[in-house]
Amino acid sequence: MKSGVVAGMAVLGLAGAPGVALADGGPAAQDRPGLAVVPNAQASAKVAADGTLLQSKGIKSLTKPAAGVYCVRFLDPLLKVDELTPVATLVATGSTPWGIVMARTTPSVECGNRADTLSVYTGTAAVGRSDLPFYLVIP
């Protein structure tokens, strides 16, 4: 059943829907990260373009060292980043251009070559790496 849920989320992400069921944080989401409602996920996040963690589950930290680069560390020390199958999709907003989001499960220079850190890259074909909001799910 778990693989069916992941496949469904991936299809929704490709269709432009967020693909992640997140709790409505309302105005409080501006002040602190809200809890994401994703009962079958090990971790998830809703990330603003500037790197602000708006909603999350199982995320220890998120940093943004450069344009279009986000470094994610998880609460669960048993999660092996190189064994994950992350699903990342861009957030559809009125001003979001067609873009690209990629998750890298091997250490990257931008994220300090840390084996416990997932690197996420966003950008557009026209500009290259640029800051775009995204959702992340770790099934």
Tokens 């778990």 belong to 2
Burial per residue of 23-42, b for 16 or more beta-carbon CB atoms within 10 angstroms, e otherwise? eebeeebeeebbebebeebb
The model's pTM: 0.73
Domain boundaries, the chain: 34-138
Give tens-digit pLDDT for 16-73: 333 333 333 333 333 446 666 666 789 999 999 999 999 999 999 999 999 999 999 9
Contact status, residue 12 vs residue 19, Cβ threshold 8 Å: yes
Give the bridge partners for 113, in sequence order. none
Burial class of residue 20, CB neighbours in 10 A (0-12, 13-18, 19+): buried
